[in-house]
Amino acid sequence: MSGNVGDTLNVMPVLSGIFKSTGNQISLVVSDKMKIFNGLVEFLQMQPCIAAVRFVSDVHLDETYTIISLPDTYTKHPNRPWETVRYDEDFRRRYSMEYVIDDDFEFVVPEPDTDVAAGKYIVGDRMSHHVMDQRRKFNVLESSGKFPLDRCFFLDYNQPMAVNAAYIKASTLPFLSTFTGISVISDLLKKETVVLWGEDIRNWDNKPIEHSFNKHFYRDRFSRLMYLGDFDIDQL
């Protein structure tokens, strides 16, 4: 896959469904690009459906793996993320196995070891890194001035992924984020999530912003879309 966290993690309800239906854990090989995400391997290996995770460069020449090739045409499910649908339809085309997508999938996370974010809105901005997609802006939430630090706790992506996921899970307030991998994690944690968007992605890939939301988020969980220009933390 692309090496983007959100795109990749949309596969989890499918893998969990395969595991629950067959009893077989799955071993993953992921893009080397994903090495930039601290603790990704450990976080995924916490999940019952995952046996092991390695990067492409760690695979030996005498080993084989299947490269996922997602279809361009797919069923636009009314509730399920369309990227999840694409994984499912690719797997069913390749393999003769029976399974049911685990639409109830929820990430397993540890208990947070600190209450540093207690009482504050947790905010997940888009991480800035030179290998990330440069077509979208970074730190769009922080630069907006709409998230005062006395009321908001910005996730630090130098922390392991499981630590940040634990903060999100433990919070009693809505998680505030944008179109980035951490918002997909929040959706798969069944947390109330406000996915904020700005003008840089109004018509991403020449499609309305709702198309991008439908690709990556369940519509029958607790995520909702909001224009950043209309956002007011006092009206949550």
Give the separation between CA 117 and CA 87, rounded to whole angstroms: 35
**78: pLDDT confidence band, cut at 50, 70 and 90?**
very high
Q: What is the pLDDT of residue 47?
A: 98
User: 222: buried, middle or exposed (CB in 10 Å: 19+, 13-18, 0-12)?
Assistant: middle
pLDDT bucket at 65, cuts 50 / 70 / 90: confident
102, 20 Cβ separation under 8 angstroms: yes
Do 10 and 87 form a contact (C-beta atoms < 8 A)? yes
For the entire predicted model, the pTM comes to 0.93
The pLDDT of residue 100 is above 70: yes
Mean pLDDT of 6-31: 95
Q: What is the pLDDT of residues 80-94, one digit of tens each?
A: 999 999 999 999 988
Q: Which has the closest alpha carbon to 33: 6, 60, 3?
A: 3
Instruction: Supply the DSSP symbol for 112.
Output: P
Q: What is the pLDDT of residue 135?
A: 60
CA-CA-CA-CA torsion sign (87, 88, 92, 95): positive
Comparing CA positions, the residue from 90, 97, 108, 102 lying closest to residue 15 is 102
Q: If you average pLDDT over every residue of the chain, what do you get?
A: 91
1 has pLDDT over 70? no
Segment 114-147, tens digit of pLDDT:
777 788 999 999 875 545 555 666 578 998 999 9
Q: Please tell me the least confidently modeled range out of 99-103, 145-149, 159-163, 203-207.
A: 203-207
pLDDT band, very low/low/confident/very high, at 95 (cuts 50, 70, 90) = confident
Cβ 109 vs Cβ 167: under 8 Å: no
Q: pLDDT band at 229, cuts 50/70/90? A: very high
Query: What's phi and psi for 214, nearest 5 deg?
Result: -65, -25
Q: What percent of the chain has pLDDT over 70?
A: 94
Residue 25 pLDDT > 70: yes
Domain ranges of the chain: 5-94, 121-235
177-228: per-residue pLDDT in tens? 999 999 999 999 999 999 999 988 888 888 999 999 999 999 999 999 999 9
Determine the pLDDT at residue 137: 64
